[in-house]
Structure 1
Amino acid sequence: MDLSYIINELGEEREQYFGAVAPPIIQSSNFASRTVAEMRYKMRHEEEEYMYTRGNNPTVTILEKKIAALEGAEHAVAFGSGMGAVAAAVLSQVNTGDHVVCVKRPYSWTKNLMRKFLPRFGVKVTMVDGSDMEDFKAAIRPNTRLIYLESPTSFTFELQDLAAVAAIAKEHGCRTIIDNSFASPLYQNPIAFGIDLVVHSCTKYIGGHSDVMGGMVCGTREMVNAIFKSEFMTLGAVMSPHDAWLFIRGLRTLPVRMERVAASTRKVVDYLVQHPKVEEVLFPFLPSHPQHELANRQMRNNAGQFSILLKAKKLEQADRFCDSLKHFLMAASWGGHESLIFPISATYASEGMKSSLPYNLVRFYIGLEDPDYLIRDLAQALAKM
């Protein structure tokens, strides 16, 4: 399917809603049946019928069809947040007594799910670096049911070889899930490498304006419908019709936004790599990065996230650099129009370490501003460090 068709036409039956260019927001919690037989059928096939918006909603369905197509998946189901999607996908694959292998530096709340939540219900988790396939082979046990990936990871941007991990998982009879939010469905499609389920925080690039939250799980129709009938309907982390409409609007500009973000990021990275007050830039698309070849093989382009290690001998120096930036907002998340930083030094309550990451690490997201405008801001902040 053509990208332009998916974004602008797929799922949009305009003749059914007066030829409106923008799809309607079907702001209804309930859908009526004309006969008992029809209601009986809907109750038995709620995964594909409109009965109650906690299950399916026409506006949400349009979004699900588009994201599934962008990921090369058979089907998708939308959630009220990225973490709702992650949790449902993981819970769908494990039972008491099972074992999970997970990359060791995932999104913070995914780490909380793995280290604190799952063990409460008798599911054991082994965290691995994941950049070497031997990490996965060594961690797998007879009761391993799931390998959870995030490639690249959230702060240090290690990659996993998706095709190799998928092969290992199939050899041992376990499933694979990946958080693909970093690359967006435009720049990486894990299902093509053999991964079973793909999750997204739609809050990031898909929304693109930092004004709506949502998540998505993509996979085979059989696997997604199983999640729909169990974790989705039971836990109720659903996406509202209005939020789905905002995500559809965000998709319209996703290709041009991603292209701009990618080009600006490369320019900013090139500036920081040569700066004497920057110790290292963590960015897989640098030729010097140890996984540069893998990044180019798995991803079609870079996204807007990277981290730097400042040449800061004291925590206060890292704080001063971050506080001196005028045009980067200090905030969590990424993927919107605005450029952001997340300083690891903020997780340090004192000189004692509160994070496994060093205080001089700063994560960047490059938005839609002019890159020279951002570089001038970086220059003045580095001068004050």
Structure 2
Amino acid sequence: MDQSISYIINELGEERSMYYNAVAPPIIQTSNFAFNKISDLSAVFEDEYSAYLYSRGLNPTVDILRKKLAALDGAEDCLVLNSGASAIYNSVMANVKTGDHIISVNNPYSWAKHLFNHILPRFGVNTTYIDGTRIENFEETIQPNTTIIYLESPNGWSGEVQDLAAIATLAKKKGIVTICDNSFSTPLYQQPVKLGIDISIQSATKYIGGHSDVVAGVLSGTKEMIKKIFESEMLCTGNVISPQNAWLLIRGLRTLPMRLERVEKTAQSVRTYLESHSLIEKVIYPFSIENPQHLLAKKQMKGVGGLFSFVLNVNSDEEIVIFCESLRHILIAVSWGGHESLVMPSCASLPKGSFDKNNLQHKMVRMYVGLEEDSYLIADISQALDKITAARTK
């Protein structure tokens, strides 16, 4: 069967003859499904993964999206939940028990870190954070009770990548489940499952939706793993995506390849401008020639999209505030992957008075380049940087 990106995005899972040959699939906005025979109802009670019973579980509109996203990931199956945080929670909780140990890369997504630091310790599950850029660090940290290795490649702020194939090989020898947050890349630019990772997760809020109007999460893997998570964690927590939001994500998928191509091209122009500016100390992204991991990044990834970070050459967090608040068209906001360009300074999350001008992380600004023209964005950045210079001369 044809599994090209064009086929997956435009046709896979869309049985148009079942809904009046409509080009766009319908939104099956129902809470439950009726049965003609009690025996059929009983069969679904036995295996809710096998048929439609209640939209807390399976739903036809959501299933169209599931088929597409699993195919894009190169996975057997996937689940779509109501947030990226839900995808993380469900994938981790399905694979730990009291007394287990988790290895996580440093500085994962904040709600993954919250799960590891505040929720799991209540049940006797502990986490060790490591520098994931060296395979030796994983080998040295594995304990007899290690059940999960949690990865984020690339990291959404600092761009570090992990050798996914090597880590997957190591983990399989030890019977450890590997989970990778692939939100930075999308399945179009990286497929962790094809590199041997057990569960690939992503925030569909970002590139998959593409319009900053849907919150959703995806986890992909084998049918056995997905069924396990569905029957226990997902049905219990009930954090399923709504049919309306699934339909919006299907719509977002239609333009995903061209949006990724556009933002990557524009982001390169913006990065080139920033790299030449005296108020920029460093521009950080996986394919940067200054990144010691750039060869590994290019081996695993097909592209880098529109997300990157840069370090401002400033003396105070007040100067970072001046820059961000002087932007006229680029918004100050979290997330990425939509039509609009965004910035988020790391100093916004620092305790008051703790800014250190010698700490590059404190001077870091994450930027997402959207669908605007590169000249439009560069002009906005330029005038905002000029505001820092002007403030210094007062």
User: How far off is 1:279 after superposition?
Assistant: 0.5
Q: Structure 1 residues 317 and 61 mapped into 2: Cα distance closer, same or farther (>3 Å)? A: same
**Does structure 1 retain, via aligned residues, the 8 Å contact 2:316–2:355?**
no
Aligned: 1:28 with 2:30: yes
Superposition deviation, residue 43 in structure 1: 1.3
Moved more, 43-52 or 14-23: 43-52
Contact kept? 1:105, 1:154, Cα under 8 Å? no
Offset at 1:40? 1.1
Tell me whether 1:379 sits opposite 2:389 in the alignment.
no
Match of 1:142 in 2: 144
Aligned residues: 384
Measure the CA separation in 2 of the matches of 1:261 and 1:197.
27
TM-score using structure 2 length: 0.96
39, 59, 70: which is aligned to 1:68?
A: 70
Match of 2:297 among 272, 295, 298: 295
Q: Which residue of 2 aligns with 1:251?
A: 253
Structure 2, unaligned runs of 5 or more: 389-394
Matching residue of 2:321:
319
1:351 to partner: Cα distance: 1.8
Segment drifting more, 59-68 vs 356-365: 356-365
- Distance verdict in 2 for CA 1:137–1:357, change over 3 Å: farther
Is the Cα–Cα contact under 8 Å of residues 81 and 216 in structure 2 kept in the other structure? yes
Paired amino acid for 2:343: I
Cα deviations across residues 281-309 of structure 1 (Å, max 9, x unaligned)? Answer: 11111112111101110000111111111
After superposition, the C-alpha distances for 1:319-370 in whole angstroms (9 at most, x for unaligned) are 111111111100011100000001112123422259x973311000000000
The residue type equivalent to 2:8 in the other structure is: I
Question: How many angstroms does 1:204 deviate by?
Answer: 0.4
- SS of the counterpart of 2:366? strand
Letter of the 1:61 counterpart: D
1:163 to 165, 189, 202: 165
Aligned to 1:117: 119
For residue 41 of structure 1, the aligned residue among 39, 43, 50 is: 43
Where does residue 191 of structure 1 map in the other structure? 193
Q: Distance in 1 between matches of 2:316 and 2:43?
A: 66
**Matched residue type, 2:62:** V
Aligned to 1:280, the other structure's residue is in SS state strand
Structure 2 equivalent of residue 4 of structure 1? 6
Work out whether residues 81 and 239 of structure 2, in 8 Å CA contact, stay in contact via their aligned partners in 1: yes
Confirm or deny: 8 A CA contact 1:344 1:357 kept in the other structure: no
Match for residue 369 of structure 1?
A: 372
Runs (4+) of structure 1 exceeding 4 A deviation are none
Q: Where does residue 270 of structure 1 map in the other structure?
A: 272
Report the equivalent of 1:360: 363
The answer as to whether partners of 1:318 and 1:359 remain within 8 angstroms in 2 is no
- How far apart are 1:378 and its partner, in Å? 1.0
Structure 2 counterparts to residues 204-283 of structure 1, below 5 A = 204-283=206-285
- Measure, in 2, the Cα distance between the counterparts of 1:7 and 1:129: 36
Q: Secondary structure, in 3 states, of the residue corresponding to 2:168?
A: helix
- Say what the alpha-carbon RMSD is for the aligned residues: 1.2
Tell me the CA shift for residue 45 of structure 1.
2.0
8 Å CA contact 2:103–2:130 kept in 1: the answer is yes
Inter-partner Cα distance in structure 2 for 1:358 and 1:103 = 17
- 8 Å CA contact retained: 2:312, 2:363: yes
Q: Structure 2 counterpart of 1:179, which letter?
A: D
Q: Which amino acid aligns with 2:294?
A: H
Q: Is the 8 A contact 1:70 1:185 kept in 2?
A: yes
Q: Do 1:327 and 1:374's aligned partners in 2 also have CA atoms closer than 8 Å?
A: yes
Residue of structure 1 in register with 2:392 after alignment? none
Contact 1:261 1:303 in 2 (8 A): yes
